[in-house]
Structure 1
């Protein structure tokens, strides 16, 4: 038996560990990482790094390596690879599951401004604040490059490349983050608006609680949909359970 996990997330690493422990002796678990981050945290099992070459390349890899099941455990905003996974799995006749952490939900006291894209987030910013905490990742800064009147603090794992805002300070850091740390960051940098993607999960959620306490608005970019017809598991444990059902209870 061979299971391919499209990974790179905390949930994907946990899923790989659960699969290695749960599958029969001799089964293979391969995690595929995109390779965009230097020194990634490697999951248990086998690891491959790099792209597949689109839908046809992925389908060919599934056939060549005799993959019995594919699990898309990529980031909720890795939309392209998710649609490639759906098309590639269908072409290779391989069962597909998607692992997606639940979306964040606003609570009492939250001042959220949902938008559909980074471009809409940039349009929404000027009336909301002048000192922006930008937590959308290093590849999305170009959308905010024209907002010269605003000051940005951008947090990312690796340094961004231009284009990016003219008034920008970069904070290189990797989650999980703490509520005390996010409170201090907002206070020290006099942040008056936060921009985030709806990534879900606990690792980066403290910024939302800190923004609520500070009574500052949060621009939330909605996540893209999972491809139609793909079964979604909210946790690694549920993904393992669904996989066992798909492949038979002896899996």
Structure 2
């Protein structure tokens, strides 16, 4: 049994550790979009495969028996490629995806289907963007003031009035509350990434009554899906 784990998420790292502890040979694949990613245990490859056909060929050449797609909930392209490549190479495929966030009493969430829709529906003038550096171009034509938090420096196009905050989670409610107050934020924009690493901003926004524009997750291929690394281990080793 040899397993390919797609993704640099916390779930992917936990799965790599669990399978390695059980003696299962794994290869973890990272997209390479983050300059200094947190690396999982075991063998790691960085970069793309050349689309579905390239991934299918790679699966065959490396004698992969199973693929676990543990990429970010918004990594649409690799998810589609994994679905097509696994079918072509006749390899088992599982999706490991953390649950999305749920609204709590006191939340003021405005759901949208894309960052472009978010940019067109901002209920405020001072905006905290936590949607990732690759999505900042959607707001380039806006006149609002933006605070954008990213792991790595973003590239143009960017909004005319923007302050970049380079930081990486996890974050605390106290820290997020302080940030919202110091920058007088009146609207938060985020993707429905799920998980606890970056959810403190939602609690802070609720406590300060700051509205949140939430981008829905894109549709994914219809494949078996679990939400916990332990469930993925059970799937790999039934």
Do both proteins adopt the same fold according to a TM-score greater than 0.5, normalized to the shorter chain? yes
| 1:80-137 CA-partner distances (Å, limit 9, x unpaired) | 1001000000000000001100000001000000000000000111xx1110000000
SS in 2 for 1:226: coil
Shift of 1:7: 1.5
Shift of 1:243: 1.9
Instruction: Report the Cα distance in structure 1 between the residues aligned to 2:225 and 2:148, rounded to whole angstroms.
Output: 31
Matched residue, 1:52: 49
Query: Structure 2 matches for 1:147-166, cutoff 5 A?
Result: 147-148=142-143, 150-166=144-160
| 1:2-54 CA-partner distances (Å, limit 9, x unpaired) | 1000011111111100110124xxx4110000111112111011000110000
SS in 2 for 1:31: strand
| 1:179-199 CA-partner distances (Å, limit 9, x unpaired) | 111000001000000000000
Extract unaligned runs of 5+ from structure 2. Answer: none
| 1:132-181 CA-partner distances (Å, limit 9, x unpaired) | 00000000001001112x10000000010000100000000001111111
Matched residue, 2:26: 29
Matched residue, 2:225: 232
SS in 2 for 1:43: coil
- Residue 145 of structure 1 pairs with residue 140 of structure 2: yes
Matched residue, 2:128: 133
- Residue 102 of structure 1 pairs with residue 99 of structure 2: yes
Query: Structure 2 matches for 1:101-250, cutoff 5 A?
Result: 101-125=98-122, 128-148=123-143, 150-228=144-222, 230-245=223-238
User: Once superposed, what is the RMSD of the aligned Cα atoms?
Assistant: 0.7
SS in 1 for 2:237: helix
Total equivalences in the alignment:
238
Extract unaligned runs of 5+ from structure 1. Answer: 246-251
Instruction: Report the Cα distance in structure 2 between the residues aligned to 1:243 and 1:219, rounded to whole angstroms.
Output: 37
User: What is the TM-score of this pair, normalised by structure 2?
Assistant: 0.99
